[in-house]
Amino acid sequence: MSQQPLVTLQNVGKTFGPVTVIKDVTVSVYAGKVQVLLGENGAGKSTLIKMMAGVYQPDAGHIVVDGQTVTLPTTRAAEELGIATIHQELNLVPTMSIAENVMLGRMPTKHGLVDRSALRNRARAALALIGLDVDVDTLVGDLGIARQQLVEIAKALSINARILILDEPTAALTRHETESLFAVMTDLRRRGVGMLFISHHLDEIAEVGDTVTVLRDGEFIAEVPASTPEDDLVKLMVGRNIEDHFPRSAGDVSQATEILTVDKLTSAGSFSDISFSVKAGEVLGIAGLVGAGRTELIRAIAGADRYTSGTVAVRGRQLPNGSIQAAIAAGIGHVPEDRKGQGLVLDASVNDNLGYATLAATAKLGLVDFAGQRSRAAEVAMKLRIRMHTIDQSIGALSGGNQQKAVFGRWIIAASTVLLLDEPTRGVDVGAKVEIYELMNAITAAGGAILMVSSELPEILGMSDRILVMRDGRIAGELTAAEATQDAVMTLAARDVDEKYE
């Protein structure tokens, strides 16, 4: 690579108080290339790119843009140098429209006033790039997490940057949207845009990447071509081999009892006439496109939303409609899709967050069992290998993947036997995924049942014993593990998707 990089982070370092998060890392982005950052949860990827985006200032080293050393005190400074960023955590204003969110900070004006038609047009154009077809006047708060992610992507794309940073843009997307995004990236690459791409989906690396920089514990480990075999990448990343990415060890469930039974469940406007059951020891996967109604279904079962008709029963006992506490008492544990908005109290400690579901159950005379809660939390944090500075730090400062593990950990502590998982490994690294899968195995092996919604087809295929495919709020079909292939699932999920889009 004789060409001059667009931007280089040169021997940068970053510490937060006593914690060193990035140590002496160098990484460059070249025009027309996609530089991939790879590392476990908490390796420091997001921290690194935030220095390039003007969010953090490096404590050591410097930033070079077009051969010049620069400082990036604000995001605006970065943007002025042509650097646009899609952050891992969504940075949208829920009370504003899609159009205003896409153009935030760059509102088109006419005579000093907001030019609304230009605003809408430019937002529509940005959405069209990634194939999101919704009314741009819709409030972002009314969108599901996947569509919010698409809005965030559209926002960065509309900046016309020379350098585009994408921090796990595909974590919340299904294959369908991911492909649209990759098409855009290919186009941008052709136009000479340099990109920095982060993902825990290893298969995506070879697909869009050029070179891969691997980080471990905030340190540079290696730079390798994107064509490097996945197994080698994993080894660089976690320092060991991972034999089996989907270590599902299903037992024979033909004689097992039904644990979770859902009968003709209907929620007006969201889904209708859903019936299925999950047996002890079974993982039932639910696949579907964004907007198929999977999240609404899971929330209704968990008691988070009320449904219109139908029944939910656990071990033959019908659960009352809309009661989370009753669901938890029956053994249900619910991992919601939006960890930041629904899963965590970000300002509270890791310890507290792990313990919410067991706070009351373990109390004596209404007094919190602090010692017990703490030791249980510590144990689970260790088991899930949650990377943190102390268990008393606020969970908002953990890396995204580690936050996700904490939501999961809450139900491990609660000894839930019926897990409702909505995108359970979103943003989780390969190593930690396997750990989560092992936990799922342990729960099913102990006679538990798992219902898992995932937009990651390999995960659905690799971990489910049986797969339901949802489309438009209905069950479009059921596949056994043996019959299930990507094509089979997608055919059911998207049969008339083209008609629907117009």
Partner 1 sequence: MSTTTLPLKRRGLDYKKFLANNGALVGLVVLCIALFIATPDFLTAQNLLNIGIQVSTVAVLAFGMTFVIVAGGIDLSVGAVAALSAMSSGWMFASAGLPGWIALLGGLFVGALAGTINGLANASGKLPSFIATLAMLSVARGLTLVISDGRPISTPAEVSFLGGNLGPVPMPIIILVLAALAASFLLNRTVIGRSMYAVGGNAEAARLSGLPVKRILVTVFALAGLFAALAGLLLAGRLDSAQPQAAAGYELDAIAAVVIGGASLAGGLGKISGTFVGALVLVVIRNGLNLLNVTSFWQQVVIGLVIALAVGVDVLRRKTRSS
Of 326-345, binders to ligand ATP (CB under 6 A) are 337
Q: Binding-site residue total for partner 1 (CB under 8 A)?
A: 89
- Binding segment for ligand ATP among 142-150, 220-228, 405-413, 493-501 (CB under 6 A)? 142-150
Q: How many CB atoms lie under 10 A from the CB of residue 71?
A: 11
On the 0-12 / 13-18 / 19+ scale of CB atoms within 10 A, 399 is buried
Which residues, numbered 235-294, are part of the site for partner 1 (CB under 8 A)? 267-272, 291-293
Which residues, numbered 44-103, are part of the site for partner 1 (CB under 8 A)? 44, 53, 55, 74-76, 79, 85, 87, 91-96, 100
Which residues, numbered 231-260, are part of the site for ligand ATP (CB under 6 A)? none
Which residues, numbered 74-133, are part of the site for ligand ATP (CB under 6 A)? 88
CA-to-CA dists, residue 127 to 56, 86, 101, 488, angstroms: 29, 15, 12, 29
The SS3 of residue 415 is: coil
Contact 88, 152 (CB under 8 A): no
Under rule CB under 6 A, residue 387 binds ligand ATP: yes
SS3 annotation, 454-471: CCCHHHHHHHCCEEEEEE
The SS3 of residue 481 is: coil
- Closest approach of Mg ion to the CB of residue 300, in Å: 13
- Closest approach of partner 1 to the CB of residue 225, in Å: 27
Which residues, numbered 365-384, are part of the site for partner 1 (CB under 8 A)? 366-368, 378, 381-382
Under rule CB under 5 A, residue 228 binds Mg ion: no
- Binding segment for partner 1 among 225-233, 241-249, 250-258, 388-396 (CB under 8 A)? 388-396
Which residues, numbered 202-241, are part of the site for partner 1 (CB under 8 A)? 217-218
| Contact flags string 4-43 toward partner 1, x per CB under 8 A | -----------x-xxxxx--------------------x-
CB-based contacts of 367, cutoff 8 Å, min separation 6: none
What totals of helices (H) and strands (E) does the chain contain, helices first?
Answer: 17, 22
Under rule CB under 5 A, residue 170 binds Mg ion: no
On the 0-12 / 13-18 / 19+ scale of CB atoms within 10 A, 393 is middle
Under rule CB under 6 A, residue 399 binds ligand ATP: yes
In this structure, the strands spanning 283-288 and 449-453 are parallel
Residues that bind ligand ATP (CB under 6 A): 16, 19, 21, 39, 41-47, 88, 142-147, 288, 290-296, 337, 387-388, 397-402, 427, 429, 455
